[in-house]
Structure 1
Amino acid sequence: MKEFPFDPGDEATLDRLRRMPVFEAADPAQLPSLLGVARLRSYEEEEVIIAEGDTDQTVYFLIRGRCSVNVDGMDLGFIDSLGDVFGEMGMVDRKPRSATITAVSPTLCLALDGAFLDRVSGTDKLAAEALFYRVFSEILAARIRDANARILILEDELEDLSVQRPTF
């Protein structure tokens, strides 16, 4: 991994970040100062970004690349769209990581350590918390809907298997 500070004066990157759904709701004037505590991290193919079981509060925003999601050795899918967010659960509940995220191709992410909220105060803190928790709520709601849909499919498959079971 290579890491370097985010430059709030880098208009090209800032414009790309503004197009991310997570930052669309942010006040454009506050975005550079909010992102001033962020870091850009680049990863090579097959490099682990998050390891299941590790503990930290860093949340990642995908700028480019493709990452795989793996839990207990099972591949669950990919993260590959501009603005995809991962690692947010560590920021919300500060518990060990629930998945391993690995770069499938060269990947660039904006990394934001959730501990920055402890260093911000006043209206900036309230604005940052409101923004992140609203976005995280939307992300988690979408993931719950997806999980529910998968559960229904698995329940149907299980029912089909039990009907097909031979009796002796």
Structure 2
Amino acid sequence: MIESKYLKENIENIQRLMSIQALKHFETRNLGKLLRLSKIRQYEDGEQIIQEGDMDPWLYFLLSGKIRITKEGEEISTISRKGEIFGEMRIIDDQSRSASVHAIGQTVCLAVDTAAGNRMANTGEKEARLDFLLLLYRIFAEYISIRLRLTNEELVRAKREAKRSDTTPTPPKPQAPASKRYIENF
């Protein structure tokens, strides 16, 4: 991995952030705060970005390339869309990483140090910390909504496919003798 220093808050970097779909509606001052807590990381093909079970504080935006997400060794997804967020579940629920992430080909990410928000609280920048947290949670809410919609669509497709593949006719229910039918109907 090749990693930059923490980024500087300048107009050029802010404009780059505004090209990310999830960030384009945020105020310049909030994007500046996000920049100061971020680094650019470049990964080579197959290089691990996130290890399942880890407790690191990093949140990622995919800037270029593609990633593979695996859980317990099974591939669960690939992501290649610029601006896609990953690594957010660990930040939201404060539990260990639920999956591993590897680069497919050369991959570049914006890595946001979410632990830096805690450092803001220690330095007396309460308002800045609150702005930072609100920004993160708004981003999370938007992406979770998108992912839930996609999951719903996949679930509907899977159910339709399962119905089509279930062509085994159900055998007719045997009729009870007439005397028993009378008792059951009573």
TM range (shorter): 0.7 to 0.9
Query: Which of these residues, 111, 130, 148, is aligned with residue 126 of structure 1?
Result: 130
* Structure 1 position 33 matched with structure 2 position 33: yes
* Structure 1 position 89 matched with structure 2 position 93: no
Give 1:148's aligned residue. Answer: 152
Report the CA distance shift for 1:30/1:148 in structure 2 as closer, same or farther (over 3 A). closer
CA-to-aligned-CA distance 1:77-111 (integer Å, 9 cap, x gap): 32222211100111111112222211111111111
Worse overlay, 63-72 or 127-136: 63-72
Letter in 1 for 2:158: L
Give the structure-1-normalised TM-score.
0.85
Worse overlay, 119-128 or 134-143: 119-128
Letter in 2 for 1:142: I
**Identity within the alignment, %:** 30
Secondary structure of 1:98 counterpart:
coil
Report the CA distance shift for 1:143/1:23 in structure 2 as closer, same or farther (over 3 A). same
Give the structure-2-normalised TM-score.
0.78
Q: Work out the CA distance in 2 between the residues paired with 1:18 and 1:115.
A: 23
The number of aligned residues is 167
CA-to-aligned-CA distance 1:87-144 (integer Å, 9 cap, x gap): 0111111112222211111111111122122122322122111111111011111111
Letter in 2 for 1:35: L
Q: Work out the CA distance in 2 between the residues paired with 1:165 and 1:53.
A: 45
Give 2:24's aligned residue. Answer: 24
Q: Work out the CA distance in 2 between the residues paired with 1:117 and 1:32.
A: 14
Q: Work out the CA distance in 2 between the residues paired with 1:12 and 1:79.
A: 26
Give 1:66's aligned residue. Answer: 66
Gaps in structure 2 of 5+ consecutive residues = 172-186
The CA deviation at 1:12 is: 4.3
Gaps in structure 1 of 5+ consecutive residues = none
The CA deviation at 1:7 is: 3.0
Q: Work out the CA distance in 1 between the residues paired with 2:9 and 2:140.
A: 27
Letter in 2 for 1:82: K
Letter in 2 for 1:21: Q
Q: Work out the CA distance in 1 between the residues paired with 2:153 and 2:106.
A: 31
What does 1:90-129 align with in structure 2 at a 5 Å threshold? 90-120=90-120, 121-129=125-133
CA-to-aligned-CA distance 1:48-88 (integer Å, 9 cap, x gap): 11122322231001122111222333333322222111001
CA-to-aligned-CA distance 1:149-168 (integer Å, 9 cap, x gap): 2222222222333333797x
Report the CA distance shift for 1:99/1:159 in structure 2 as closer, same or farther (over 3 A). same
Report the CA distance shift for 1:9/1:127 in structure 2 as closer, same or farther (over 3 A). closer
